[in-house]
Amino acid sequence: MYYKLKNKYNLRGWEKLPYAIVDTEAHRASFVDKGTFAALDLCNGRIDLALPLVPQSIRDSVKKLEAQGIVAPCAPGEGIAERQKYRRYPNRFMQSAHWSITGRCNCKCRHCYLSAAEGRYGELSHEDIMKIVGGLGESGVLSCSITGGEALVRPDFWEIIDGLTARGIGITQIYSNGFLVNNRLLDGFEERGLHPEFNMSFDGVGYHDWLRGLNGAEKAVRRAFELCRDRGFPTGAEMCLWKENAHSLRESVNYLASVGCRGLKVNPVADTGAWHEGGYAAKHGLAMAETFAVYLGYLDDFYRDLPEMEVHLGGFFLADGRKPDVFHLPVIHVCKEPEKVCLCSHARTTMYISAEGRALTCMPLSNMDEFQQRYPKIQEIGVRECLKDSAYMELLDTCAATVLEHNEKCRDCTYRRLCLGGCRAAGIMAHPGDILAPDESSCAIFCGGWLQKIEKKVKALRFTAECAERKQLRELGREDELAW
């Protein structure tokens, strides 16, 4: 009875997480216990698992793995590929990288984090860029999304893509303003057997040009969305809200759904970067309560239209018009041991690499010059060292309990085990220099009665719709924490 690991799987491990199966097609790691891994290790086509010396527990595990489609019977001696054999990386696990490969851009966006039109943060040399490419591979990073600035302005764009894929790193998303998304670009991806999602900003029907600072920007991004649809490339979108475009939310969602966009994330323009430098907030910015009122008002349109896409309204509401009987309240964090989780679950699995090469938790921190100086430049210390004992890993290992204890207003809050202090980027924007500060937006949603308003409105609009987080809390015996 001989078994082998199916071809799309590799055996891998990392510091503190030594046993994993990596799906090389999905670019995902599944972590297993020591006993299961021992069974996987014997599925090499060279060991007869029917031999008496093989424990029954191993044979039972192999049968389960076969049922899961991970291993299959094979001829004696058939063996597995060299790259499938176990490899352990001497650093902490990082699922993916979100990488600003340049700080330059061909737009003049009024709200840019990086002030990219002026090339404030520039871009790394080709040599340094390729050092990081190599480091990502040597550290077992599984996937990468590419952003800028405008990523497509780099002349060595394809060398970066090829360097990543040669190391088995999946290209999941390309973030772009759409100007340079054309048939030639898509041909290049198809020739490589790649179909990443193109995530493009769309800031409101009739309003996109103003925020992007260029006439014709909306026409260009519409063309890009429609081209991707026609060529079979998935798309996603992000929309910024300000006073003048807030009323265009419904029309914008329905347009994006009509061109096959898979999902839209909506947020108010943050008063940072070029938006702050230009003094736009006073005249054009939305106050927090105004933003929430726009979101709440849109729920009528969402359940009336049921757009064939996922719509994420900041941390306020998330639902997919194709699955209208489930909705999410993203501000609620559901976990078995809330205060033991890391301070940002997204950052713990996705490293943001800034245009100047710094390892940060997310892009909004990249324009906080004084704060980001604390964190390493990857081209100087290497990805592997960054994922060991660096200031970056120290931050990622900080637990939610530290955030809650740090903030007096969190200590006795009814919702502390659901909020966990909120978003770290939002916290530091409201309290400059303090990465542990409370997220005032999350505070307002929890303590301002907005969750009650959302549930009440959804119940009135679609009686059968259920809140996913409430269901999860019920299964954990914690639904009373949402008693209102």
Residue that the structure tokens 């726009």 belong to: 294
- The predicted structure's pLDDT at residue 43: 97
Tell me, yes or no, whether 68 lies in a domain. Answer: yes
198: three-class secondary structure by DSSP: strand
Could you give the angle at the alpha carbon of 431 between the alpha carbons of 428 and 436, nearest 5°?
55
Distance CA 211, CA 195 (A): 29
Among 99-108, 115-124, 340-349, 459-468, the minimum mean pLDDT is found in: 115-124
Residue 52 carries which DSSP code?
A: T
Tell me, yes or no, whether 193 lies in a domain. Answer: no
Average pLDDT over residues 389-404: 93
Domain limits for position 45: 3-89
Tell me, yes or no, whether 39 lies in a domain. Answer: yes
Does 127 have pLDDT greater than 50? yes
Q: Number of H helices and number of E strands within the chain?
A: 23, 18
pLDDT tens for 288-327 read: 999 999 999 999 999 999 999 999 999 999 999 999 999 9
Residue 250 tokens, joined? 């419904």
pLDDT tens for 225-257 read: 999 999 999 999 999 999 999 999 999 999 999
Residue 80 or 277, more confident: 80
Among 3-7, 97-101, 276-280, the minimum mean pLDDT is found in: 276-280
Tell me, yes or no, whether 58 lies in a domain. Answer: yes
Distance CA 42, CA 62 (A): 9
Could you give the angle at the alpha carbon of 401 between the alpha carbons of 397 and 402, nearest 5°?
65
- The predicted structure's pLDDT at residue 114: 62
Asked if 326 contacts 280 with a C-beta cutoff of 8 angstroms, the reply is no
List of E strands, 279-377: 310-313, 317-320, 326-328, 350-353, 359-360
Of 55, 89, 123, which closes a domain?
A: 89
Give me the phi and psi of 131, to 5 degrees please: -60, -45
pLDDT tens for 164-191 read: 999 999 999 999 999 999 999 999 999 9
Tell me, yes or no, whether 71 lies in a domain. Answer: yes
Tell me, yes or no, whether 94 lies in a domain. Answer: no
Residue that the structure tokens 């650093």 belong to: 91
Residue 43 tokens, joined? 């599925």
Average pLDDT, the chain: 95
Does 72 have pLDDT greater than 90? yes
- The predicted structure's pLDDT at residue 299: 98
Give me the phi and psi of 388, to 5 degrees please: -115, -105
Residue 396 tokens, joined? 């990622």
Tell me, yes or no, whether 403 lies in a domain. Answer: yes
Tell me, yes or no, whether 17 lies in a domain. Answer: yes
Residue 31 tokens, joined? 């972590």
Kind of pairing, strands 9-14 and 17-23? antiparallel
Type and span of the H or E element at 258? helix 249-258
328: three-class secondary structure by DSSP: strand
Of 89, 115, 148, which closes a domain?
A: 89
pLDDT tens for 456-479 read: 999 999 999 999 999 999 999 999
- The predicted structure's pLDDT at residue 380: 95
Distance CA 130, CA 71 (A): 35
Among the listed residues 185, 244, 177, the one whose alpha carbon sits nearest the alpha carbon of residue 210: 244
The fraction of the chain above a pLDDT of 70, given in percent, is 98
Distance CA 103, CA 248 (A): 30
How close are the terminal C-alpha atoms of the chain, in Å? 59
Does 113 have pLDDT greater than 80? no
Distance CA 436, CA 330 (A): 20
Of 89, 117, 146, which closes a domain?
A: 89
* Residue 321 CB-half CA count within 13 A: 23
Distance CA 263, CA 282 (A): 30
Count other Cβ atoms within 10 Å, centred on residue 45.
18
Please report the DSSP string for 416-432 in residue order: HHHHTT--HHHHHHHST
- The predicted structure's pLDDT at residue 116: 47
- The predicted structure's pLDDT at residue 345: 86
Cα-Cα-Cα-Cα dihedral sign, residues 128, 129, 130, 132: positive
Domain count for the chain: 2
Cα-Cα-Cα-Cα dihedral sign, residues 112, 136, 160, 183: negative
The fraction of the chain above a pLDDT of 90, given in percent, is 90
